[in-house]
Amino acid sequence: MSVIHNFSAGPGILPKEVLKQASEACINFDNMNLSLLEISHRSKNYVNVMDEARQLVKDLFEVGDEYEVIYLGGGASLQFGMVPMNLLSEAGYAAYVNTGVWASKAIKEAKIVGNTKVLASSEDKKFTYVPKGYEIPSDADYFHITSNNTIYGTQMKSFPKSPVPMVCDMSSDLFSRRVNAKDFALIYAGAQKNMGPAGSTMVMIRKDMLGKSGRKMLSMLDYSVHIKGESMYNTPPVFPVYVSMLTLRWLKQNGGVDWIEKINQQKADLLYNEIDRNSCFVGTVEKEDRSHMNVCFLPTKAEYEAEFDKIAKERNLSGIKGHRDVGGYRASLYNALPLESVQVLVDAMKDFEKKFA
């Protein structure tokens, strides 16, 4: 079977050993002679999975019992509404920075819930940079950012010091680099970009943030309810949580965030260096804000695209088509993507230049 180099932006690539373990669990989970897909989520065997999945997040983020971890459905998109419902008081306001499509959607949902202010935005230049130099107000209920812009290919290289609780959507760069998780009051992420399959969302929240809004909420939208139920107030996304657990276990066993950050740096350097060197391609965002997870680039001539598409297909480069809002190409370098796959893409770009430049 030929090797496919999977640069999909999401659902993204998963470690091969994780896929193998997950497929086996679909037939015989935990030597029960039952499928993971057909056992009770309240069985001891699955409770152990959920407990480990929650603890691994704390281990990798290096935080203690001051934080709670829950797994929910609904994707990060549901969190766009749950965050303000749980943290935004009726008399207060929330502060946001707009760095792209997903940040824009988070702002839209927050405005429905309550008073929301946009402190800075990069929309004026089609989200090709990350805003800087803005002031975070000291009287906001919370401050919300998006760490990585999947569509446009920008990433916050550092995080501001916030005088108010800081909330971050880390959906597309979760555990790809070391961050000081204790700087954040709440971190959330859809699993399908860098942690697991679609269907599960991880939320890590500092305990002192619970019960802040003072508003009545539906039980399913209340973080406190899900924490009390240990992520099982209702039937959780059983299989996605299990695969996420396996992926986090894989990461920890191989050396954790420090280990993968070095590899991710190598992958990003290899590809960006070729984009900057190659006369047939050009990057789309400010160099200082380039994402190490989602690398966006364009052909320097429109007619190059059809020809490079052919080479990409020949070299088994999958999922590199750019988002419709940007065009060109997008190579997602998530944790499970091997350095060798990036080298195949770079070699294809070099061969393309020799032939067409």
Asked about 193 being catalytic, the answer comes back as yes
Label residues 65-93 b or e (16+ Cβ within 10 Å = b). eebbbbbbebbbebbbbbbbbbbbbeebb
Residue type, 65: D
Q: Which of 20, 30, 44, 102 is catalytic?
A: 102
User: Strands 166-169, 186-190: parallel, antiparallel or unpaired by DSSP?
Assistant: parallel
Q: Which of 141, 173, 193, 222 is catalytic?
A: 193
Residue type, 21: Q
DSSP, collapsed to helix, strand or coil, labels residue 11 as coil
The residues that bridge with 72 in the sheet, in sequence order, are: 201
Would you list the DSSP string of 173-209?
TTTSS---GGG-SEEEEEGGGTTS-TT-EEEEEEGGG
Task: Quote the CA–CA distance of 256 and 196 in Å, as a whole number.
Answer: 16
Which DSSP state fits 3? P
The residues that bridge with 69 in the sheet, in sequence order, are: 204
Asked about 169 being catalytic, the answer comes back as yes
Task: Quote the CA–CA distance of 122 and 137 in Å, as a whole number.
Answer: 19
Task: Quote the CA–CA distance of 77 and 193 in Å, as a whole number.
Answer: 14
Which residue in 80, 57, 77, 78 sits closest to 67, CA to CA? 57
C-alpha dist (Å) from residue 178 to 72, 141, 164, 187: 24, 26, 22, 14
Q: Which of 20, 117, 141, 169 is catalytic?
A: 169
**Residue 123 exposed, middle or buried by CB count within 10 Å (0-12, 13-18, 19+):** middle
Task: Quote the CA–CA distance of 131 and 60 in Å, as a whole number.
Answer: 28
Which residues are tagged catalytic?
102, 169, 193
